[in-house]
């Protein structure tokens, strides 16, 4: 009897130590990722702070040519897969956006430097073209720590949406503000999905309007806004845990800052 009790005690102690080790490893990984994100944010902010565009008040009435955000350029030079920076003001969403179309979900569990990390990065879907797509689909994890896209959970309530209606996306191709038009939850891998994740470019006006109608129809509340053919869309997606294989989806339309891509290309390393 004592032998069995000793064996069970030893197993319990070993399990406790193993659990402690795993939790410690997770803690170290989170701290390392937090440090990296702060460094990236510092680089992004520092470069933007140093950027002082020339202003000519005599030509104030003319639209200003598009200039690539200096912070985005600095991050792009660090890693060419970084194409932009996404912010939802007054939330934890304030991160670089990665894009590697040749490798599906490459940054799902990799950090900015391509090292393994469960937190992953925000990344643009490989089916999208950041210049040509009608809808840019950006994925991110729903972290228990509240990081990455965890804040999207807030869009389940109309009050949160009213307080956080705008999303800014500065990229190699645009410095834009988007306004939320719909937020909904949906299961995937059901065999009968609403395949919002496959819509990146409309075949025609009808195709576009059908997508917008489907999005608005599923919205948890009426934002009072919609989109018309020609409006560029931004779709943010993360996991949602009230249902099996659930997703929390926020769709926004561009409201300003379309920019001129031709003036920007010369400033982008490797751009054609």
**CA 170, 174, 179, 180 torsion-angle sign:** negative
pLDDT at site 142: 95
Q: How many domains does the chain have?
A: 1
Residue 54 lies in a domain: no
User: Stretch 12-38: mean pLDDT, rounded?
Assistant: 55
Query: What distance in Å separates the CA atoms of residue 135 and residue 129, rounded to the nearest whole number?
Result: 9
Residue 36 lies in a domain: no
Question: Which pTM was predicted?
Answer: 0.82
87 neighbors 96 (Cβ within 8 angstroms): no
Instruction: With a cut of 60, say whether residue 268 has pLDDT above it.
Output: no
117 neighbors 106 (Cβ within 8 angstroms): no
Q: Which residues form the domain of 96? A: 68-266
CATH number at residue 246: 2.40.260.10
Would you state the structure tokens that stand for residue 102, as one six-digit string?
Answer: 């040749």
Determine what percent of the chain is predicted with pLDDT higher than 90: 64
249 neighbors 226 (Cβ within 8 angstroms): no
62-81 per-position pLDDT tens digit: 667 788 999 999 999 999 99
Query: What distance in Å separates the CA atoms of residue 202 and residue 232, rounded to the nearest whole number?
Result: 11
Instruction: With a cut of 70, say whether residue 25 has pLDDT above it.
Output: no
Instruction: With a cut of 90, say whether residue 272 has pLDDT above it.
Output: no
Residue 164 lies in a domain: yes
pLDDT at site 66: 82
Residue 73 lies in a domain: yes
Residue 39 lies in a domain: no
Residue 14 lies in a domain: no
Residue 35 lies in a domain: no
Q: CA gyration radius for the chain?
A: 22
Determine what percent of the chain is predicted with pLDDT higher than 70: 76
Q: Which DSSP state fits 249?
A: E
Residue 232 lies in a domain: yes
- CA 224 vs CA 22, 72, 165, 254: distances in Å: 47, 32, 11, 15
Interacting residues of 239 by C-beta distance below 8 A, sequence separation 6+: 141, 142, 246, 247, 248
């Amino acid at each position: 009897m004592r032998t069995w009790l000793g064996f069970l005690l030893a197993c319990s102690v070993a399990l406790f130590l193993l659990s402690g080790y795993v939790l410690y490893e997770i803690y170290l990984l989170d701290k390392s990722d937090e440090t990296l994100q702060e460094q990236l944010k510092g680089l992004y902010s520092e470069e933007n702070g140093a950027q002082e565009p020339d202003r000519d008040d005599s030509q104030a009435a003319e639209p200003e040519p598009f200039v690539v955000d200096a912070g985005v350029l600095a991050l792009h030079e660090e890693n060419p897969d970084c194409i932009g920076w996404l912010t939802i003001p007054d939330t934890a969403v304030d991160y670089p956006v990665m894009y590697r179309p040749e490798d599906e979900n490459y940054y799902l569990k990799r950090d900015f430097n391509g090292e393994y990390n469960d937190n992953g990065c925000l990344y643009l879907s490989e089916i999208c073209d950041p210049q040509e797509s009608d809808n840019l689909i950006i994925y991110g994890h729903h972290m228990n720590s509240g990081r990455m896209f965890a804040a999207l959970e807030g869009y389940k309530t109309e009050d949160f949406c009213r307080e956080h209606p705008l999303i800014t996306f500065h990229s190699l191709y645009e410095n834009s503000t988007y306004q939320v038009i719909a937020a909904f939850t949906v299961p995937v891998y059901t065999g009968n999905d609403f395949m919002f994740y496959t819509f990146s470019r409309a075949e025609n006006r009808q195709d576009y309007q059908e997508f917008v109608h489907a999005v608005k129809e599923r919205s948890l509340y009426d934002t009072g806004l919609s989109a018309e053919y020609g409006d560029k869309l931004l779709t943010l997606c993360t996991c949602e845990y009230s249902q099996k294989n659930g997703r929390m989806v926020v769709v926004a339309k561009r409201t300003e800052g379309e920019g001129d891509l031709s003036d920007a290309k010369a400033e982008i390393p490797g751009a054609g």
